[in-house]
Structure 1
Amino acid sequence: MAESHRSGRNVALTAPERSAGSRHTRRTTLATIAASAGVSVATVSKVVNGRADVAAGTRAVVEELLRRHEYVPPSVRRAAGASTTVELLISGPFGVYSTQVIEGVVQAGAETGTSIVVGSLDDHRQPGFAPQGWARRLVGAGRAGVIVVTGALTGGHVTALALAGVPLVVIDPLNMPGAEVTSVGSTNFAGGMSATRHLLDLGHERIAYVGGPPSSGCNQARLHGYRAALENSGITSRPEYVANEDFAYDVGRRAGGRMLDLAARPTAIVGGCDTIAIGIMEAARVRGLRIPEDVSVTGFDDTELSTMTSPPLSVIRQPLREMGRVALKSVLQLAAGDALDSHHVELATELVVRGSTAPPPDL
């Protein structure tokens, strides 16, 4: 399913490479034109799209280079039937969360005639992941853009993609993206607040939170929402009731277990994702605690697993497939040089109440 990132020669073009005997014609990018003209990629994009806010002299130089390089915009290539391919990189294991995002990207790809190449993003061990070489390989492989799911790219990688003219969209980024990086996520703060508010409305006061990496932007937002809901009800968040490690089943089982072993154990726990919440449920089970009679648990995502637990899991639903669809459409717009309505899209979350939450046992 995954494709190697070693395809294509690592060559940055400054003039057209055409050969009657060659099998491949290397595609010129906006970055190629920008480097030759001594202007920014944004300026070249404005000329390509007929924008008026470019000086006449600069426009003439860029237009001459576009003709010399025989540049064809992505939108024209798609209209002419040329294939468009987008690289989708998944950080970590291909679990139920990433599977639903992939489904959304693939469905949108089928609708737009876009091929999707799915690969694995390993931030620390993947060979040959040096920024410039990686970006050039993507250009050599003819990628129209890149979508990264829950991964953490360095500033160097983001810059290399921009210089190579390869659009980037990130879904639920682990590190907070800069203003220049397009991101797609959900209303994580509102979701964390809604889950906690639901438990407060049931009568819980001893409410804990088990989440993902402390540096994760989506986890930070969910944690802040949890704390805001408590503070709005006059309850101070207790340090022993908060754990942030990773979005994993073992974290829920281990951190949830520590909290359930406290003398004043929480009567409800907000899980930062569905797999964490399922780990918490297992920690309760091995301690002989019933859900929801002894402890209530909520998840976040609404993956297929949430309906398979016993009892079914109350969750904050993220529109995972729609996030994938929006990400693909955004990267195609960027590839075509079109302006986006927003570079940071947050889709609405919603509370789904099932059987894992109930009033606390002392009521």
Structure 2
Amino acid sequence: MPELPRRRATVRDIAAATGLSIATVSRALNNHAHVAPHTRELVRQAIDRHGTSGSTTIYLRCPYQLTDYFGLIVSAVAETVKRHGHQVLLDAGEAGQAEPVLPRLPGRPGVDGAILILPPEQGEDLEALRDSGFPFVVIDPRTPMPRDIPAVSAAHFAGARSVSEHLVGLGHRRIGVLAGPHNWLAGRARLAGHTSALADVGVLPDPALVRSAEPTVEFGHRAAAELLGLPDPPTALVGFNDKAAVGALAAAAERGLRVPADLSVTGFDDIDLAQATSPRLTTVRQPLLEMGRMAVGLLVRLLEKHELDALHVELATELVVRDSTGPVTT
């Protein structure tokens, strides 16, 4: 009878076999600096005894609905993981936002590494996971990442600057901003990019023209209605994303404003929705698929014990000019 293939040894298996803690085994497996040589050797011998056959399993966490933005990233990650000969364990859905997932990852049976999409946890929770030696990569971090936590994102500042430069070039100076939450890394970077474009033409940012909240269609509609109701309303609206911009289009239509003749509106992301509106949205294209592929590449290199020269990767965005922007009316 042919010999059956051995089950892949997990971190928990190695910890049980050596009497070491799961965190210590994780640090040894990932070449953490603070592991004694005899401990590394103990772990290596246990791995040799237990065997290491089987494919790598990557835990993919996306605690949001898999529509548009998040769905594209998840699809890219899953497809790329499969091309590398590994498998994905997907954990998705908003219900998971409150679950204490990260502390349990280092000891989770059969899980070798993780990709975390816009993790809602605090920075210290991610730092604790890093200190455990468990390999992971963050896509689109919500807060600034420490230097030694690998992260992939779009160039938020440059993308926002490009779309505001476009509006400034059309003569707009009074521009309303439908911003994301101020405590989001992307929200701060995009607002800074917008401010930079205005500064180039000598315009100071006006806090009265900024509204901030979770960037949904409902928020875009509500915030745009407030801004358009000002005594001196903006001539253009910059949406944090395409959904907020769609809400702004609805608010403009309710006031009888023509886009772009009376009001210019822009988005960010370039999801399918941006081409389904009337008029079609001018927006900033994020490389969502490439973000997913890049994150898998970084994680695979970590799992293979390679050194990473670039831990924080920002991928270039692209301004896509369509029908929702035009010259300011005088």
Same structural fold, with TM-score higher than 0.5 when normalized by the shorter chain: yes
Q: Aligned partner of 2:220: which letter? A: G
> What is the identity, as a one-letter code, of the residue corresponding to 1:116?
V
Which residue in the other structure is 2:312 paired with?
344
Aligned-residue offset at 1:320: 0.4
Match of 1:41 in 2: 32
Distance of aligned partners of 1:242 and 1:141 in 2 relative to their CA distance in 1, 3 Å threshold? same
Q: Tell me if the contact between 1:213 and 1:246 (Cα under 8 Å) persists in the aligned partners.
A: yes
Could you tell me which residue of structure 2 aligns to residue 171 of structure 1?
139
2:89 and 2:101 map into 1 onto residues whose CA distance is 20
Q: Are residues 1:200 and 2:168 paired?
A: yes
1:66 aligns with 2:43: yes
1:330-354 Cα deviation digits (max 9, x unpaired): 1121122211121100000111100
CA contact (8 A) 2:105 2:111 kept: no
- Say if 1:181 and 1:293 are closer, same or farther in 2 by CA, change over 3 A: same
- Partner-residue secondary structure (3-state), 1:309: coil
Match of 1:255 in 2: 223
Change (3 A) 1:67 1:119: closer
Q: 1:245 to 1:144 in 2, by over 3 A?
A: same
Matches within 5 A, 1:262-301: 262-301=230-269
SS in structure 1 at match of 2:98: coil
Cα deviation, residue 171, structure 1: 1.3
Correspondences of 1:24-35 after superposition (within 5 Å): 31-32=24-25, 34=27
State the AA in 2 paired with 1:153. E
**TM-score of the superposed pair, with normalisation by structure 2:** 0.87
SS in 2 for 1:346: strand
Contact 1:30 1:41 in 2 (8 A): no
Contact 2:64/2:70, CA 8 A, preserved across alignment? no
Find the counterpart in structure 2 of residue 141 from structure 1: 109
Q: Does 1:311 pair with 2:279?
A: yes
- Does the aligned pair in 1 maintain the 2:163–2:284 contact within 8 Å? yes
Q: Secondary structure at the match of 2:33?
A: helix
- Name the CA shift for 1:286/1:345 in 2 (closer, same or farther; >3 Å): same
Q: Deviations over 1:179-218 (max 9, x none)?
A: 2221100111111110100001111111111111111001
Provide the residue aligned with 2:5 in structure 1: none
Q: 1:215: which partner in 2?
A: 183
Aligned length: 320
1:353 matched to 2:330: no
TM-score by length of 1: 0.80
CA distance change for structure 1 residues 177 and 12 in 2, over 3 Å: closer, same or farther? farther
Q: Flag the 1:339–1:121 CA change in 2: closer, same or farther, 3 A.
A: farther
Alignment correspondent of 2:3:
none
Q: Distance in 2 between matches of 1:285 and 1:348?
A: 33
* Residue 64 (structure 1) shift: 2.6
- Structure 1, unaligned runs of 5 or more: 1-8, 19-27, 45-57
Shift of 1:12: 8.8
Deviation (angstroms), 1:124: 8.3
CA distance, structure 2, for counterparts of residue 353 and residue 124 of structure 1: 37
Superposed CA deviations along residues 6-54 of structure 1, whole A, max 9, x for unmatched, are xxx9969645179xxxxxxxxx978317579xx972356xxxxxxxxxx
**CA distance in structure 2 between the aligned counterparts of 1:106 and 1:10, rounded to whole angstroms:** 23
**Which sections of structure 2, spanning at least 5 residues, go unmatched?**
1-9
Q: Does 1:333 align with 2:301?
A: yes
Calculate percent identity across the aligned residue pairs: 34
Are 1:152 and 1:175, in contact at CA under 8 Å, matched by a contact in 2?
no
| 1:83 pairs with 2:60 | no
SS at 1:89 equivalent: strand
Change (3 A) 1:278 1:71: farther
C-alpha change, 1:285 and 1:319, in structure 2 (3 Å) is same
Q: What CA distance in whole angstroms lies between the structure 2 residues aligned with 1:71 and 1:296?
A: 64
In the TM superposition, what is the alpha-carbon distance from 1:123 to its structure 2 partner?
8.9
Shift of 1:247: 2.0
